[in-house]
Structure 1
Amino acid sequence: MNRRNALKLGMSALAGVYLSPLLSQTRLFSNIPLPIDGLFQPTWDSLEKYQVPDWFRDAKFGMWAHWGPQCEPEAGDWYGRGMYEEGSRQYKFHVEKYGHPSKFGFKDIINIWKADNWNPQELVDLYKDAGAKYFMAMANHHDNLDLYNSKFQPEWNSTKMGPKKDIIAGWEKAARKANLPFAVSIHAAHAWNWFDTAQGADKNGPLAGIPYDGRLTKEDGKGTWWEGLDPQDLYAQNHPLSERPSRDSSVHSQWDWGDGASIPTSAYSEKFHNRTIDLIEKYNPDMLYFDDTALPLWPVSDAGLRIAAHMYNNSLKKNKTVQAVITGKILTEQQRKAIVWDIEKGQSNEIEPLAWQTDTCIGNWHYDRDVYNEKRYKSAKTVIHTLIDVVSKNGNLMLNIPVRGDGSIDELERAIVKEVGVWMKANSKSIYGTRPWKIFGEGPQQASAGALKAQGFNEGKGKPYTSEDIRFVQKDKKLFATVMDWPENGSVLIKSLGKGAGYYTNSIKQVKLVSTGEKLKFTQHNNGLEVHFPNQKPKASFANALEIV
């Protein structure tokens, strides 16, 4: 998931105009797609009729279990790729703990992953109590293991391997019982190039030149635990490498299948399509999150377009209106109408005209024991500040709490989740169901905010929020102004609400502190609204919502 280097993605490629030399070597989908049954057809022109449903716009805050076999080593993001990168931290960790990747590969990590302390209902209930209004579970990652009873990945899925449990069924049951919309994240379209490091071999040391296990086939499995299985159904590496493969690291710049990427075959693309349709049909998710430039396999295949059209048409048939949500990254203006723009580890610097989402995590995407040991998790304060800022700009926050290999979360994470819940219980009326105001806010922090890079990655670039930083939203003819820290001098001056600012033209009758309901003394000057805070701080006073009428 984490594309550690900024992607250099040409917008022409995103629009489907760019054709790398390798594209001419594979079947391109027809410029005139076959029609399907329903209002939505598998074209961007058709999909842009989509309207984001109110449940998503009102929810504002979701929580995510980005959890699969790569969490078993508890050694961080992209373990299934990094363990094959000679000399890397994860390679060294893997060799020391499990052995050389020519002998113990990622398929063997799957085999030892048991998820024996997984209690999906307890975790989903915890997240709901913390204020989450929708829940998302990972259905597969770039490691290509389906975490459900997969008809089109019949052996390499979690019901046959590792835990031998239907992970998505467990999460879905828990979300439905908690009355939360259920989302799934889908990342497997990129296994084709992401696993290319598994085709390598050490260049140094006693095992130099001995291939890793990425090119093994069914015939190589005699006498092993995986006898009768084909590793290529997992690794998908029975093809030439990209023009610039592997470590330094072409996969980042090739996320849109340009820059010399090895292009998937039509069989690979159709298998991905069928796996995803099977997922939709079996578990009826309310939302699909794609870790892709636009839709999966675009622009070299229309598989993602067909999935989107199927999802929208199904929802329309069941609900009379489209209640489904699909997200994608690095979108053109037209594509942002067709699906919801998702920003990874970052946020927009302005009010967006269409609903959007940021996704981030309190640690690394996959569980990392070093983050726990070094206490490097995001604080509840950081989470809440991110939420408030994102909501003021017409966005939602999807927050991942990294799950350990055994299916549990640690006590530091649990404490952060509960502290987020304390703030949400006291202030959530300033979050749920709100819409952007005339401006998103004021104060010095925004001037220091970082610019978006590739699919996001600008979080944490600005200065810390202070009591001079204010974020605005509106709901039910009320204005909410959240002061992003407690004013130690006892009062704040909200400049945008001064009589001379021209934004708030009505006479202000009342200002209340949302968390306690206390009415506050105020004076509206020409240069700002002066609000006097009480002497006693409420709990979680690192952000303080004011209700203004």
Structure 2
Amino acid sequence: MTGFSKREVLFGTLLAASARPARARVGESTSLAGLMPQAAPGRFDASIASLETYQTPDWFRDAKFGIWSHWGPQAVPGQGDWYARNLYIPGHPHYDHHVKTYGHPSAFGYKDIIPLWKAERFDPEALMARYAAAGAKYFVSMGVHHDNFDLWNSKHHRWNAAQMGPKRDIVGAWQAAAKRHGLRFGVSEHLGASYCWWYPNHQFDQFWTSGKMGVDYDGADPKFVDLYHDNRTEPYRGNGQTWYTTNPKFQRHWFDRITDLIDNYQPDLLYSDGGIPFGEVGRAMVAHLYNRKAGRGGRTEAVYAHKSMSGEFLPKAAVQDVERGVLEGINPLPWQTDTSNGDWFYNRNDKFKTTREVLSMLADIVAKNGNLLLNIVQHPDGSLSPQSEELLTGLTAWMKVNAEAIHGTRPWRLYGEGPTVAKAGHFAESGNYTADDVRFTTKGGALYAILLGWPQGESAIKALGSQALPGARIERIDLLGGPKLRFAQGADALRLALPAGDPTVLPVLRIRGRGFS
């Protein structure tokens, strides 16, 4: 993912400041001649005007909830996200763990982690059944992370899961399971940032206390240049700079790899970890995706999710994604939050989200015209962490009763009310919600009020008082999974009392009447 701590910023900045001068590469060229790729023929092309005719397909607007497998070799050490990069940064906890557990990265680097990822307990069929039961309507597989390791049988790259590690087409296995369980299928690509992000592997140890000061890391070995890249001129400094390379050679390399992924697996959704990479090259890839999934009248069934950071941000041309955060209020265009129930890769020391936290986020996001894409943390062997198992059990129980308030809904005139307002923007997850916080959705003439906690006494919903709804009439209120409720609509609020319930469960009211839905 694109998040980074202050400590990572410091280490990245220090590393770049002390980097060896780049060595010239014989014959290397940055000329665009012959490198500009072309999209598959169809309605869309690489122009902004063409892409901004895009309309989000109904399946995505109706789905509301997807599950992501943000999983790969970086899960092996059990230290969390960005391990492939941070193991090469002296002073970082990942470097300390790596040296202690595996040895110095001059001899044992990331290339040697890959064979340790065997995925021996990976059962996509059983996992997909659990995800579908938990309410997911689409599933997203990691395609390639910043570690430059493809999880499919890539024809452009030997470092892939079909040939190494699990020796299995992970993307293909996920795709087949999603299809059997009726889920839309997506893939994520983080390759665009890899050419700059992974610069530290080219460096050398700078700490005299290591006993290896000045010794090159294994990324400097030309035998492994196809894994570690040969970009020595654009180091990512950990401060948002050089997230994407400006070198046309690497941009074309990215285009060929990602279009191979698109052509072989025909994903309904593709996620990039940033804005649209590389200008016209990235837009050609988006057009390629859309044209490959063209339906009647040329309207595409594909979704491309991108962020308002780095690269090119075109919210009319693709779906906006917010990493570990939300948007403010009801957005006129469908959008998506991506987050995880823990760290992005398995972290044995991690803190995990509870079922109530995830459901509160889901309700807030859906009420604002968004979708939630939730990573469910997996162990390196492919099994689920106990916390992930517990979360799925809780989601399944809640969705069995309350899914009608989520799937296929649309926002109401207000997204909600209450004392808690989630902070808008990337990396800003917040919200200690209470029973006084309410989120609204609508479907089929009904208004749904999702309470973000189980009230212990009378509830008062101000947005449903007669002054807020002049001329409207509430005729019936049902507690989903429970009884019809008695209520009183006063001028200032709708008042009602719920039966006693589990304080960790979010109750949902189905409200019917006239003049308000």
TM-score, structure 1 normalization: 0.85
Secondary structure at the aligned position of 2:411 is classed as coil
2:456 paired with 1:507: no
Matches of 1:513 and 1:494, distance apart in 2: 15
- How many residue pairs end up in the alignment? 488
Distance 1:413 1:508, change over 3 A: same
Map of 1:529 onto structure 2 = 494
Which residue of the other structure, out of 472, 478, 492, is the alignment partner of 2:446?
A: 478
Q: Map Cα deviations across residues 159-196 of structure 1 (whole Å, 9 max, x no partner).
A: 11111111111111111111110010111111111111
**Aligned letter for 1:378?**
K
- Note if contact 2:307-2:313 (Cα within 8 Å) is conserved in structure 1: no
Which residue in 2 is equivalent to 1:59?
Answer: 63
Partner of 2:13: none
> 1:18-38: CA deviations, max 9, x gaps?
xxxxxxx944699x9978622
Quote the Cα distance in structure 2 between the aligned partners of 1:486 and 1:135: 30
Q: 1:108 offset after TM fit, Å?
A: 0.7
Tell me, yes or no, if the aligned pair for 2:412 and 2:441 is still in contact at 8 Å: yes
**Contact 1:5-1:252 within 8 A present in 2 as well:** no
Name the structure 2 match of 1:100: 104
Alignment of 1:194-273 (within 5 A): 194-204=197-207, 205=209, 206-218=211-223, 231-236=224-229, 238-242=230-234, 245=235, 250-254=237-241, 256-257=243-244, 263-273=245-255
Counterpart of 2:24 in structure 1 is: none
Cα 1:493–1:89 shift into 2, 3 Å: same
**CA deviation digits over 1:179-223, x for unaligned, max 9?**
1100101111111111111122222221001011112112xxxxx
Does the C-alpha gap of structure 1 residues 29 and 445 become closer, same or farther in structure 2, counting only changes over 3 Å? farther
The CA deviation at 1:319 is: 8.4
Alpha-carbon distance between aligned partners in 1 of 2:131 and 2:503, rounded to the nearest angstrom = 18
List per-residue Cα deviations over 1:376-400 (Å, max 9, x = no partner).
2100000000000000000000000
Aligned letter for 1:421? T
3-state SS of paired residue (1:445):
coil
One of 488, 491, 495 as aligned partner of 2:456: 488
TM-aligned CA distance change 1:126 to 1:436, over 3 Å: same
CA distance in 2, matches of 1:160, 1:309: 30
Q: Which residue of 1 aligns with 2:287?
A: 309
Q: Are 1:4 and 2:9 counterparts?
A: no
Q: Does 1:344 align with 2:323?
A: yes
1:117, distance to aligned residue in structure 2 (A): 1.1
Alignment partners' CA distance in 2, 1:215 and 1:264: 21
User: Measured at CA, do residues 111 and 33 of structure 1 come closer, stay the same or move farther in structure 2, by a change above 3 Å?
Assistant: closer
Q: CA deviation at 1:283?
A: 1.1
Using the TM superposition, give the Cα deviation of residue 255 of structure 1 relative to its aligned residue in structure 2, in angstroms. Answer: 5.2
| Aligned counterparts, 1:320-331, within 5 A | 321-330=299-308
The residue identity in structure 1 corresponding to 2:180 is K
SS of corresponding position for 1:87: coil
Letter in 2 for 1:380: T
Q: Distance in 2 between matches of 1:443 and 1:35?
A: 47
Are the structure 2 counterparts of residues 333 and 290 from structure 1 closer, same or farther at C-alpha, using a change threshold of 3 Å? closer
- Structure 1 gaps, min length 5: 9-24, 219-230, 258-262
TM norm structure 2: 0.90
Equivalent position SS for 1:280: helix
Going from structure 1 to structure 2, the CA distance change for 1:53 and 1:255 (only over 3 Å counts) comes to: farther
Question: 1:69 & 1:417 partners in 2: Cα distance?
Answer: 24
Whether the 8 Å contact between 2:192 and 2:254 is mirrored in structure 1 is: yes
Pairing 1:268-283 to 2, within 5 Å after superposition: 268-283=250-265
Report the counterpart of residue 156 of structure 2 in structure 1: 152
Maintained 8 Å contact 1:292/1:328? yes
Distance 1:486-1:239 versus aligned 2 partners, 3 A rule? closer
Q: Write the letter of the residue equivalent to 1:353.
A: P
* Matched letter for residue 175 of structure 1: A
Contact 2:306–2:320 under 8 Å retained in 1: yes
Instruction: State the match for 1:131 in structure 2.
Output: 135
CA distance in 1, matches of 2:466, 2:295: 50
Counterpart code for 2:474: I
Gapped regions of structure 2 (runs ≥ 5): 10-28, 513-517
Q: Give the structure 2 partner of residue 186 of structure 1.
A: 189
CA distance in 2: counterparts of 1:509 and 1:29, whole angstroms? 68
Going from structure 1 to structure 2, the CA distance change for 1:327 and 1:424 (only over 3 Å counts) comes to same
Task: Give 2:374's aligned amino acid.
Answer: L
Structure 2 match to 1:109:
113
SS of 2:329's equivalent in the other structure is coil
Change (3 A) 1:451 1:132: closer
Do the aligned partners of residues 254 and 215 (structure 1) sit closer, same or farther apart at CA in structure 2, a change above 3 Å counting? same
1:468 to 422, 436, 440: 436
Partner secondary structure for residue 362 of structure 2: helix
User: Which residue of 2 is the match for residue 15 of structure 1?
Assistant: none
Please give the alpha-carbon distance, in whole angstroms, between the structure 2 residues aligned to 1:316 and 1:479.
Answer: 34
1:369 paired residue number:
348
Deviation string, structure 1 residues 343-369 (Cα, Å, up to 9, x no partner) = 000111210000000000011001111
Residue of structure 1 aligned with 2:391, choices 416, 423, 431: 416
* Distance (whole Å) between structure 2 residues aligned to residue 304 and residue 481 of structure 1: 41
Identity within the alignment, %? 40
Task: Name the structure 2 match of 1:498.
Answer: 465
Question: CA distance change for structure 1 residues 134 and 319 in 2, over 3 Å: closer, same or farther?
Answer: farther
Cα distance, 1:234 vs structure 2: 1.0
Displacement of 1:256 in angstroms is 5.0
